[in-house]
């Protein structure tokens, strides 16, 4: 499988009155063509900013974003415009990402008009209806407006817009978090079917590990702008190593009356992402933290079989022979 996206030491800082906010701090990973990489973490950990920085909706502070062998973080805006159709995003809130004054048909048609695809009006309208069919949106909704539809149908409009320019990489920024459970399953299955049919590559951002387990090949766990654990999805759930990831997993409800999972309650203060010290950012909430954790930032290291963990005590707290 060829590598479509390679992110190297990516950083995104924001100046604030009290210093510099490290939203994304030295993030590195690869994503193979046709696969899905899950990005998981609490709200405010920087996962959405990571997705927007990769797609240059906000410019990176430093680092490389290598797409198809080309560092798109270093090219000019004019050069990037030509690549934009290949790199699309599905946003978290479908209502706020759609224009309330445009009909469903006009919403889907807009990217085709901007990039001058299908100059003939009849061909363009045919393409719009085909896209509606592809995402399971009935043609009778073509002349309706976003406020007349439910959340699931609005999100299908967003997916149709994302597919309209035939992209290769789609960043899905919590595309099901605003939907109820039944509609979540429908949208996830739709995304997976589209991936298989069109060979799409996804970067799937979410705070819900049960959702990301369903759709992802690999998972990166983020904490305050940094990746603390990454590996294959099955390995993450069977051999969880980082204390923060273990706490996240313990919060997943178990659909059984006979089985119970021990809940790990995190205590302590969150480390400020503004001018952070050179230490483990999870240390103030970690019951296993030592002086080393408060004095030195751990490196993200491979502990075996491509399982990467950033923790000083990973070998001491886990049996790495099982990894």
Give pLDDT tens digits along the chain (323 positions): 699 999 999 999 999 999 999 999 999 999 999 999 999 998 889 999 999 999 999 999 999 999 999 999 999 999 999 999 999 999 888 888 899 999 999 999 999 999 999 889 999 999 999 999 999 999 999 999 999 998 889 999 999 999 999 999 999 998 888 778 888 888 889 999 999 999 999 999 998 888 888 899 999 999 999 999 999 999 999 999 999 999 998 877 766 656 666 777 788 888 899 999 999 999 999 999 999 999 999 999 999 889 999 999 998 888 776 66
pLDDT at 321: 66
Give the angle 301-23-176 at the CA atoms, nearest 5°: 90
**Pairing state of beta strands 226-232 and 218-223?**
antiparallel
Q: Which helix (H) or strand (E) holds 7?
A: strand 3-16
- Got the DSSP string for 182-214? HHHHHHHHHHHHHHHHHT-EEEEEES-HHHHHH
Orientation angle between helical segments 121-134 and 151-163, nearest 10 degrees: 130
d(CA 192, CA 237): 20
């Amino acid at each position: 499988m060829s590598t479509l996206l390679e992110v190297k030491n990516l950083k995104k800082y924001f100046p604030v009155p009290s210093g510099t906010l490290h939203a994304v701090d030295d993030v590195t990973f690869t994503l193979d063509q046709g696969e899905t990489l899950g990005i998981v973490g609490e709200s405010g950990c920087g996962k959405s900013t990571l997705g927007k920085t990769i797609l240059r909706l906000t410019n990176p502070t430093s680092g490389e974003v290598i797409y198809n062998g080309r560092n798109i973080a270093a090219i000019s805006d004019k050069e990037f415009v030509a690549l934009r159709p290949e790199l699309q995003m599905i946003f978290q809130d479908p209502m706020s990402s759609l224009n309330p004054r445009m009909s469903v048909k006009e919403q889907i048609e807009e990217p085709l008009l901007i990039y001058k695809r299908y100059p003939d009006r009849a061909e363009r309208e045919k393409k719009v209806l085909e896209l509606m069919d592809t995402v399971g949106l009935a043609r009778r909704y073509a002349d309706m407006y976003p406020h007349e539809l439910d959340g699931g149908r609005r999100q299908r409009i967003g997916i149709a817009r994302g597919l309209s320019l035939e992209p290769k990489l789609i960043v899905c920024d919590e595309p099901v978090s605003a939907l109820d459970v039944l509609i979540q399953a429908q949208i996830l299955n739709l995304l997976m079917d589209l991936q298989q049919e069109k060979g799409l590559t996804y970067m799937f951002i979410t705070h819900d590990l049960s959702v990301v387990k369903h759709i992802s090949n690999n998972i990166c766990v983020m904490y305050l702008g940094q990746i603390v654990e990454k590996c294959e999805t099955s390995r993450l759930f069977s051999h969880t190593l980082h204390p923060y990831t273990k706490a996240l997993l313990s919060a997943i409800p178990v659909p059984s009356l006979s089985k119970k999972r021990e809940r790990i309650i995190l205590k302590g203060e969150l480390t400020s992402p503004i001018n952070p010290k050179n230490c483990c950012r999870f240390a103030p909430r970690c019951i296993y933290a030592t002086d080393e954790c408060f004095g030195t930032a751990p490196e993200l290291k491979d502990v075996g079989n491509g399982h990467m963990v950033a923790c000083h005590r990973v070998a001491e707290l886990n049996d790495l022979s099982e990894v």
